[in-house]
Structure 1
Amino acid sequence: MLNIKGIIIKNKALIICSSLLFLIGVIAGSFMTPTLIEQNKLIEPNSLSHLFINNLLAILFIASGFFTLGIGTIVFVAINSLTIGLSIKESHYLGKSFFEIFFKIIPHGIFEIPALILSGVIGFKSIMFLIEYMEHSINFKSLLKRYIKEISTLFFIIIVLLFISALIEWYITPRIF
């Protein structure tokens, strides 16, 4: 397994791309109109495991962009980030202050959002794989082995982040307000 600092440094460009895509989606979602908000029926989780599995599925969909050269990643990050922006707008529209919204999202969001961004990194890794393979004429098997090791490490980090996020969202966040 690679160390976290090494992964961050190595994937800096992909982290920036995934972060910008996420941020643009949240901002765009927060500008959606209240008529769209009324149609946004989110399924509320009924247990910690349900919450964790829902988040894990979202992350897997984002990471599956690996198999579509990042196209699926763009689509699924956009959907998730638009939903977050829309939820912020909906909460504010329904009378919650930005302070309340902020403290409802931040405790678990500091773990969940990086997990989402790192899954975007995985989704974009196939593009980097192809570029590296074509530019450097590296042995395919050794390059593939290195990428599998790095993606496995990223998935491990994502799972830990999602688990911590789910614990906080289930046990702590609802009690804040």
Structure 2
Amino acid sequence: MNERTRREHDRSDGGYPPRAALADAWDEHSRYVGFATGLFAFGILVGIALMVAGYNLLEIIEELVGEPLFPDIGGQSRTELARFLLVNNTRAFLLSILGVLTLGLLTVWAMVFNGIIVGNLGAVVASNVGIGYILVGLLPHGVFELPALFIAAGVGFRLLYRVGQRLRGSRNAILTRRYLYRTGLLVLVGWLLLVVAAIIEAFVTPALLEALFAA
């Protein structure tokens, strides 16, 4: 019995093992996660283009709001820093899901805007200290943090689509127990990726930067 057949058998028997539910959740949300990833990638390209045109968005935004965009966290312990990062990223994570309440506009904006900031800031820093610094500073935690945010956005987009299906009459219910169960598992996995990302960014990334770029 292959994996797909086993999952169908489990469901037909009334059971819904977490592994099968999570696989179903990914099957249901993967293209929406891909759409979110594409929006972020588009934002990165825009951010890089703005840097090439001579715009440092970090400086521009700080001038507009009258305060640093990123608070000073230099005096915090590593544990406090990890907690700070996790809280901030969890807010972005939840907002990406709740963007369904704005017909997805908030989620689209979050993906594109964050991509623009990452692309622009990354290009500015890379031009000053080199691409290696950016790769070491972003990749270790970014490989966990970004997929988590894309998952959250994908959940928001999929939920919006289900609302549309219900309004068109092609779906009997927006939310079902099985949908909430499997999607809840996917959201949990995404949030756990944020936990890993916060730990790496607080404890591992600074050590790598100090070891490789101390000079």
Query: Normalised by the size of structure 1, how large is the TM-score?
Result: 0.86
Which residue of structure 1 lines up, in the alignment, with residue 45 of structure 2? 27
Please list the CA deviations of residues 51-108 of structure 1 after superposition, one character each: whole Å capped at 9, or x if unmatched. 1101111111211112222111101112222121122022123x22112211211100
Q: 1:169 aligns with which of 201, 205, 213?
A: 201
Which residue of structure 2 lines up, in the alignment, with residue 16 of structure 1? 34
1:11 aligned partner, one-letter code: H
1:38 aligned partner, one-letter code: E
Separation in 1, partners of 2:118, 2:157: 22
**What is the Cα deviation at residue 16 of structure 1?**
1.6
Q: Which moved more, 1:66-75 or 1:33-42?
A: 33-42
Cα pair distance change 1:69/1:148, threshold 3 Å: farther
Q: 2:145 aligns with which of 98, 112, 120?
A: 112
| 2:47/2:118 contact within 8 Å kept | yes
Cα pair distance change 1:144/1:3, threshold 3 Å: closer
Cα pair distance change 1:75/1:160, threshold 3 Å: same
**What is the Cα deviation at residue 166 of structure 1?**
0.3
**What is the Cα deviation at residue 43 of structure 1?**
2.6
| 1:111/1:161 contact within 8 Å kept | yes
Q: Which moved more, 1:167-176 or 1:71-80?
A: 71-80
- Structure 1, gaps ≥5 residues long: none
- Structure 2, gaps ≥5 residues long: 1-17, 62-68, 210-215
Residue 130 of structure 2 corresponds to residue 130 of structure 1: no
**What is the Cα deviation at residue 127 of structure 1?**
2.5
Q: Which runs of 4+ in 1 moved over 4 A?
A: none
Q: Secondary structure at the match of 1:11?
A: helix
Q: Secondary structure at the match of 2:176?
A: helix
| 2:93/2:148 contact within 8 Å kept | yes
Cα pair distance change 1:16/1:49, threshold 3 Å: same
Please tell me whether Structure 1 or Structure 2 has the larger radius of gyration of its CA atoms. 2
